[in-house]
Structure 1
Amino acid sequence: MANDAVAGNALSVAPAGIGDGDDPVRGVLAAFTRDLITAVDETLAGFLATEVASLGGIDAAMGGFAATARDCVLAGGKRVRPTFAYWGWRGVVGGDEPLPPVLPALAALELLHTFALVHDDVMDASDTRRGLPTAHRAAAERHRAAGHAGDPDRFGEAVAVLIGDLCMVWADRLLGHAALPPARLLDVRRCYDQMRVETVAGQFLDVLGEHDAANWSVDRALRVARYKTASYTVQRPLLFGACLAGVAPDAPLIAAYTRYGLAVGEAFQLCDDLLGVYGDPETTGKPAGDDLRTGKPTALLMVARQLATPAQRRSLDRVGEALTDRDVDLLAELVVDTGAVHRIGRMIDERVTEALTALESASIDETARIALTGLATAATKRRA
């Protein structure tokens, strides 16, 4: 990336038709995404270097802990939330507004995301994330290797909770580095706080669903998708970007962004439901079939139960039991046979159409419209 492109005004964009084949949307997205992700990562690395050094002054062990938290943040990822926030902002300000004043706020969303991921992995007892051991598993292994007293798994979970908490605090601190007028920063903070509240609400419903699957439904699974994923992945980041640009809460654009964000965010989670059963572990970084093993009542499984014959439903009742790999494969095939995979694919397409319809009526920068159009598809036609 050309650093002066980020330090200057708008991020550079490839000419139409340059990039992935002759598709102008993908060409635009490729250029913008590369530059934006690099800018976010550089902002995070610089901020975290100072934070880790400061915590290392407390105790040598604290320095190692802080470095582990830093590594969780910088371990990769698609930077989806800063990307949607950027385009929410860019849709309002156009191409000439300098990026550096708002870049800390965009990067803060990635720290919030790390908080959610690390805690989610503890709650789901996940073994891997992005192809690597999850934070709690890695901490437990270090406990064993050091020969420390006590339960390594319990220690690992405690460390992971603290890593998530630290990332939440870091997100707050980095958000405060945004160079915005105080009144606008207060409005941004209100949007940010609502995003956090809705994330917690969605996460609670997700946990509850695993322990009350008998009382779950397709509607309730979609409610989890709306609050656990749509809100803090697409909808609120877009509104966050609009707040960074100074848009009033009652402006027509807010309604358009909300409609688009909910539709794409729900489609994003529905895609995740499919990847959780049928994704390639080499690409997703997580084992396939985890949702079948745990019995998580995703929209995919709820639709499968809804469409299943009585015999198929009896087989689906085994979801969440101690299953062999062969059992998981057979259940995955059964879900396809019910027609649920086809139905979920149709639901994804319907939501993408809804999102694009919302964009048609929005008064936004044309480059942002092109990017958000491409993102609606890219976020829901992915393999990881």
Structure 2
Amino acid sequence: MRSMDVGSDSEMVESLARARGAEDVGLVDDIIANRLDRHAHVLTSVGDELSTVVAVLRDAAARGKRLRASFCLWGARGAADGELVPGAVETAAAIELFHLAALVHDDIMDNSDARRGLPTVHRRFADEHTRDGRHGDPDGFGSAVAILAGDMCLAWSDDLLATAVVDIDRDIRHATRMIWSQMRDEAFAGQYLDMLSQTIPATSITRARTVLRFKSARYTIGHPLGIGGTLGGASPTLVGQYDAIGLSAGEAFQLRDDLLGVFGDPAITGKPAIDDIREGKRTLLVALAERSASRTERRLLADCLGNPNLTEDQLSAVREVLSASGAVTVVEDRIARLADEAFATVDELEVDRVTRQALTCLIDRCLWRQS
């Protein structure tokens, strides 16, 4: 973790950054809640049965970390001398709704049972189907409802973005839309390559890094910063610096996520630690282990990756291989190097001190988190 400057002035800046960040997140939460209420009114007017769908989405949305929204908002503040520009909060909320849609769909693809400490959306509706003794396949019903729920969130996110940028300068509106579109396309492309990699017996380091970059790195930090910065009228230089932060800090964020996906405490992460191996995630962590492991260890990895019946004992064996091969150490070292790169770029930003401090704290939170 990066050490902060000490002294009353630095403490004041950090305190102000935290206060503004908390206030901004509160505004985002309010917008999301209001949007869900508005759509709930329409849905439940069609049928009271839809109230359950809205309630499940409310639960899932309320537990978000708001990292992407925070990067968007501070990206905007950094471009506008610390001020909160028109449309930034709504745009940040739109990013969060897009992210919720991505998570709902991702959990179906990964057959995940838990997310953010709750049953995943498809699991909740499958369990409801079983509990109520309905006809048909519970899992099929749960997945179908979750697909609809995710699709609604995608549509709502785009509606919210359109509302956010309707009254701003036409060129800024167009530029913001372009980054938004690129973010969506790259996230979808990264997700496809991630699924494709699970169908191939060997793990490619090149493919793993490509997935890491586009499914998570730019989508989590770089694009939200860029979208916010564009709304705030950022110069091409600042937008480029934001993208550089996104590439380094975003990659480190996903590498930390990969480690937590295998070694994390489910009570803290809110999801089982067995899922990534059971689903056969071909992460950089796995690719590095395969490169350095013995023939016996590689055979064990091959037997366990993608095994739907993976046991806790087998997971422990995989963890041992990942550690003994040196892969965990390599990944931790890379996270530290990427962190240094990200912090160095933050230090070079021509932004106000509060924004610089806020971005430092956000990156710190991403890279050394436990959930």
TM-score computed with the length of structure 2 as normaliser: 0.92
Q: Return the alpha-carbon distance in structure 2 between the equivalents of residues 338 and 132 of structure 1.
A: 34
Picking from 306, 311, 314, the partner of 2:299 is: 314
Identity of aligned residues (%): 40
2:81 matched residue in structure 1: 94
2:222 matched residue in structure 1: 235
Q: Is 1:221 the counterpart of 2:208 in the alignment?
A: yes
Q: Return the alpha-carbon distance in structure 2 between the equivalents of residues 77 and 121 of structure 1.
A: 15
Q: Is 1:156 the counterpart of 2:142 in the alignment?
A: yes
Picking from 174, 189, 196, the partner of 2:177 is: 189
Paired residue secondary structure (1:176)? helix
- Give 1:102 deviation, angstroms: 2.2
- Give 1:33 deviation, angstroms: 3.3
Moved more, 236-245 or 62-71: 62-71
Paired residue secondary structure (2:22)? helix
Q: Which has the higher contact order (CA 8 A, sep 6+)?
A: 2
Paired residue secondary structure (2:198)? helix
Q: Is 1:382 the counterpart of 2:364 in the alignment?
A: no
1:334 matched residue in structure 2: 321
AA in 2 matched with 1:242: G
- Give 1:50 deviation, angstroms: 1.3
- Give 1:70 deviation, angstroms: 3.2
Picking from 148, 153, 157, the partner of 1:171 is: 157
Picking from 33, 36, 42, the partner of 2:30 is: 42
What does 1:163-312 align with in structure 2 at a 5 Å threshold?
Answer: 163-178=149-164, 180-183=167-170, 184-214=172-202, 216-247=203-234, 251-312=236-297
Query: How many residues are paired up?
Result: 362
AA in 1 matched with 2:89: L
Q: Is 1:113 the counterpart of 2:107 in the alignment?
A: no
Cα distance change of structure 1 residues 61 and 16 upon mapping to structure 2, 3 Å threshold: farther
- Give 1:254 deviation, angstroms: 1.6
1:4 matched residue in structure 2: none
Paired residue secondary structure (1:382)? coil
User: Is contact 2:218–2:243 with CA below 8 Å preserved after alignment?
Assistant: no
AA in 1 matched with 2:338: R
Moved more, 184-193 or 222-231: 184-193
- Give 1:30 deviation, angstroms: 3.5
Q: Return the alpha-carbon distance in structure 1 between the equivalents of residues 168 and 237 of structure 2.
A: 23
Q: Return the alpha-carbon distance in structure 1 between the equivalents of residues 338 and 245 of structure 2.
A: 9
Q: Return the alpha-carbon distance in structure 2 between the equivalents of residues 25 and 181 of structure 1.
A: 30
Q: Return the alpha-carbon distance in structure 1 between the equivalents of residues 12 and 319 of structure 2.
A: 37
RMSD: 2.1
AA in 2 matched with 1:261: G
Moved more, 167-176 or 154-163: 167-176
Cα distance change of structure 1 residues 371 and 154 upon mapping to structure 2, 3 Å threshold: same
Gaps of 5+ in 1: 1-14
TM-score computed with the length of structure 1 as normaliser: 0.89
Which deviations, in whole Å up to 9, do the C-alpha atoms of 1:249-292 show, x marking residues without a partner? xx111211111111111100000000011101000001113222
2:68 matched residue in structure 1: 81
Gaps of 5+ in 2: none
AA in 2 matched with 1:190: M
Which deviations, in whole Å up to 9, do the C-alpha atoms of 1:73-129 show, x marking residues without a partner? 22x12100000101111111023x345642111111110000000000000000000
2:341 matched residue in structure 1: 354
Moved more, 26-35 or 76-85: 26-35
User: Is contact 1:213–1:297 with CA below 8 Å preserved after alignment?
Assistant: no
